[in-house]
Amino acid sequence: MAGKLFMPAMQGTFGDWNYYSALVTLDDIVERVGYASLLTENSSLGEQIQRRLDDRSRASDIADYLIRNQDRFFNSLVVGVLGGQPEWHPFSLSSQVAEHELGDVTERDQDLVGYLQLSGEETLFALDGQHRLAGIRQALAEQPDLGQEKLSLIFVPHLDTPAGKIRTRSLFISLNKKAVPVNRKDIIILDEVDIAAIITRRLVDSHPHFNGGVIDVTRFGNAIPSSSPFWTTIGTFYDVNDVIIRRFVEGRDEGELEDAGKVRLSEDRLVFYQAGVLDFYDRLARMEPLLSTVFGEDVEQKATALRHARTAENPRLLSRPVGLKIFVNAAAELREGRTVAQTFKELRRVPLSLDRPPFNDIIWDADRARMVVSGQSLSSRLLLYMLGLTNFGERLRQSYADHLGVEPETVRPPRRLPAVRAR
């Protein structure tokens, strides 16, 4: 535990945030300030923040800047304060220059300048400036005499409650959105406004369909090893949930969803959209028996079923992230003008095996029993044509010809999928 620390500081209020702006040595920053990984309840997601911030190339660039530039300068780091009892010690203002009269300034602001005292029991974590913090750590490891230089930190309180975490997460995202585009991983892990991020985390953290080793929270792309015990990546899960929420859920409000990119929806609306997402997956599991197993309780049974579903003998479309995205995109297109029930009836037309058109030899290499992610767009467009949702236009013809390595005029479109028979 670090000892007491006194810092010259100013006290302020902005919006409904109270904060302190203090000068702190780089040595004390490195010793006391950590990263924002504690803002997520899921330890694996928290590790993603830590790994990204420990990226050596980014930290090295910042460290090199600090070491080699005498005119180095950083803007303030924003630091959350958890626990402990920071104390504020104001002091009265006076001028050492006789002709300067502070007058009303003294009365108005005399309590806003002073010293901030930390006991050493607090947990401090960077909300803004995390990569700068990583660079400072590396710079001090290489050149320790930089440690006595002082940097401005803005301290804000963090309450370790559900409401407090939502408030601090929102601040984290707001600060970073205003600076540079927020890393997609950060949005999925921390964003408390993005509705798809909120619902994705809730499902991964607490819903029995998904919290039992179903979603690989270390992968954010569209690929997953054939031997993986996980169904899909968290990046793909987030992407398809976003499509389901915005284009599929029965009773969705387009205006509300447009505003949802700026303002967090009320809890009852979040629950509503989460129920719509779960309804989609429940209906999907009734179409594809594999998913009934994946969403079940037996972990070993899930892993065995997924390994079998990724073999050359039984390549299932929905066992692969790319296949899931293609299917959900088609579902969203079919949903236009149809009810959810009617849409799922139409979705029964979609082949669920990768060894059939429009997947075989485009996203599925049967000879090597592996996925070809580069074929995702072409497979998706061909599927929409086969479902009767688009025409075989010149651009699609050209893309298909390029893939086949033939002249466009020789290309024949794939057969349309047969209509679902009435029961």
User: Considering only 85-94, 157-166, 248-257, 397-406, which range has the smallest mean pLDDT?
Assistant: 85-94
Token digits of residue 310: 């990724």
Token digits of residue 55: 């990226």
Helix (H) or strand (E) holding 208: none
Rounded Cα–Cα distance for residues 79 and 147 (Å): 18
Please report the pLDDT score of residue 55 as a whole number: 53
According to the per-residue pLDDT averaged within each range, which of 70-79, 122-131, 251-260, 268-277 is highest? Answer: 268-277
List pLDDT tens digits, range 311-344. Answer: 999 999 999 999 999 999 999 999 999 999 999 9
Please report the pLDDT score of residue 230 as a whole number: 96
The answer to whether the beta carbons of residues 223 and 86 sit under 8 Å apart is: no
State yes or no: cis peptide before 86, omega within 30 of 0: no
Residue 180 binned pLDDT confidence (cut-offs 50, 70, 90): low
Residue 83 binned pLDDT confidence (cut-offs 50, 70, 90): confident
Neighbours of 33 (CB within 10 A): 21
pLDDT at position 54 over 70: no
Please report the pLDDT score of residue 167 as a whole number: 83
> Could you tell me the end-to-end alpha-carbon distance of the chain, in angstroms, rounded to an integer?
71
Give the Cα-Cα-Cα angle 6, 8, 10 (nearest 5 degrees). Answer: 125
Mean pLDDT computed over 230-245 = 97
Rounded Cα–Cα distance for residues 82 and 181 (Å): 27
Rounded Cα–Cα distance for residues 62 and 135 (Å): 5
Per the model's pLDDT, the better-predicted residue between 164 and 292 turns out to be: 292
Residue-wise DSSP of 312-334:
SSS-BGGGSHHHHHHHHHHHHHH
Q: Where are the strands (E) in 159-271, listed by range? A: 215-216, 232-233
Token digits of residue 86: 């920071």
Please report the pLDDT score of residue 50 as a whole number: 57
User: Considering only 87-101, 159-173, 191-205, 318-332, which range has the smallest mean pLDDT?
Assistant: 87-101
Type of residue at 375: G
Q: How far, CA to CA in Å, does 77 sit from each of 107, 194, 297, 347? A: 30, 24, 44, 51
Mean pLDDT computed over 42-71 = 74
Neighbours of 74 (CB within 10 A): 16
Dihedral, CA of residue 286, residue 292, residue 295 and residue 300, to nearest 10: -170
* Helices vs strands, H then E, count in the chain: 17, 12
Please report the pLDDT score of residue 116 as a whole number: 92
Rounded Cα–Cα distance for residues 347 and 336 (Å): 13
Token digits of residue 320: 């692969």
Task: Using alpha carbons, select from 175, 138, 124 the residue that is nearest to residue 53.
Answer: 138
What are the percentages of helix, strand and coil residues in the chain, rounded to 5? 50, 15, 35
Rounded to 5 degrees, what are φ and ψ at 102? -75, -30
Give the Cα-Cα-Cα angle 323, 241, 225 (nearest 5 degrees). Answer: 40
**SS3 at position 130:** helix
Bridge-based pairing of strands 364-365 and 150-157 is: unpaired
Residue labelled with tokens 């998904």: 210
CA contacts within 13 A on the Cβ side of 199: 29
Q: What is the domain partition of the chain in residue ranges?
A: 5-98+107-179, 193-347
Rounded to 5 degrees, what are φ and ψ at 206? -140, -15
User: Considering only 94-108, 220-234, 364-378, which range has the smallest mean pLDDT?
Assistant: 94-108
Residue 85 burial (10 A CB sphere; 0-12, 13-18, 19+): exposed
Rounded Cα–Cα distance for residues 174 and 220 (Å): 22
Residue-wise DSSP of 268-288:
HHHHHHHHHHHHHHHHHHHH-
Please report the pLDDT score of residue 103 as a whole number: 59
